[in-house]
Chains A and B, each alone.
Chain A
Amino acid sequence: DTGVSQDPRHKITKRGQNVTFRCDPISEHNRLYWYRQTLGQGPEFLTYFQNEAQLEKSRLLSDRFSAERPKGSFSTLEIQRTEQGDSAMYLCASSPRQINIQYFGAGTRLSVL
């Protein structure tokens, strides 16, 4: 499968715990995006990378959220001290250099108890 891969698919955690998600983009896609989606809403932009550089972060992204893409390939999204309001589907997408068509992964569904 050469699509965008996300791991884990589901994560249940207790409030206050830290969680980390991983995204493997399509090979050779230089841009990688993180979105959050809650029930009945469209994906909401969180941050994006061009190669290893994080070029934009949403104002919605609190200090508890951090993302990395150390070698310009896979990316991780970490949420520290999770809150119940963090419960959502976290989607990763990647796009090729030539055109900004975004290919989404299956997402990681986070439930904070």
Chain B
Amino acid sequence: GQQVMQIPQYQHVQEGEDFTTYCNSSTTLSNIQWYKQRPGGHPVFLIQLVKSGEVKKQKRLTFQFGEAKKNSSLHITATQTTDVGTYFCAGQYSNDYKLSFGAGTTVTVRA
């Protein structure tokens, strides 16, 4: 079935360092969305990527959608303690409104 894989599952980062989380789908996506879930919280929408090769930036966060629309990445520069949480990618396939979530990357930050 349609499934979105996400790695790594955990990312322990020194404050100030950069890190990247990756998502991959076996089949072409209509679009991909990224959500952040703080500990004890619920997923909060960050961004949607629709076009092949699209790159979007939100301050220290850079989101990329692959040329084949099968993979995506989130890169965070100069990690801060406020970046703690779990980042999920969620893929949407054509003619389908539901989202297929990856397992998430849980980020912890060492001060």
Task: Name A residues whose Cβ lies closer than 8 Å to a Cβ of B.
Answer: 31, 33, 35, 40-45, 48, 50, 55-56, 91, 95, 99-107
Q: List 30 A-B contacts (CB under 8 A).
A: A31-B97, A33-B97, A33-B98, A35-B101, A40-B106, A42-B6, A42-B88, A42-B101, A42-B104, A43-B43, A43-B90, A44-B101, A45-B99, A48-B97, A50-B97, A56-B96, A56-B97, A56-B98, A95-B97, A99-B48, A100-B97, A100-B99, A101-B33, A102-B33, A102-B99, A103-B45, A104-B35, A104-B42, A104-B43, A106-B42
Task: Name B residues whose Cβ lies closer than 8 Å to a Cβ of A.
Answer: 6, 9, 31, 33, 35, 41-45, 48, 88, 90, 92, 96-104, 106
Min distance, Cβ A56 to any Cβ of chain B, angstroms: 6
Q: Judging by beta carbons under 8 Å apart, are A41 and B104 in contact?
A: yes
Q: Is the contact region of chain B dominated by helix, strand, or loop, or is it mixed?
A: strand
Which chain A residue lies CB-closest to B92?
Answer: A100
Q: Judging by beta carbons under 8 Å apart, are B98 and A91 in contact?
A: no
The complex places the Cα of A103 from the Cα of B99 at a distance, in Å, of: 12
The complex places the Cα of A101 from the Cα of B45 at a distance, in Å, of: 7
Q: Is the contact region of chain A dominated by helix, strand, or loop, or is it mixed?
A: strand
Q: Judging by beta carbons under 8 Å apart, are A104 and B100 in contact?
A: no
Which chain B residue lies CB-closest to A45?
Answer: B98
The complex places the Cα of A64 from the Cα of B87 at a distance, in Å, of: 31
Min distance, Cβ B51 to any Cβ of chain A, angstroms: 14
**What are the 5 closest A-B residue pairs judged by CB atoms, nearest first?**
A42-B101, A104-B42, A45-B98, A104-B43, A43-B101
Identify which of B44, B100, B101, B106 gathers the most chain A CB atoms within 10 Å of its CB. B101
The complex places the Cα of A44 from the Cα of B102 at a distance, in Å, of: 9
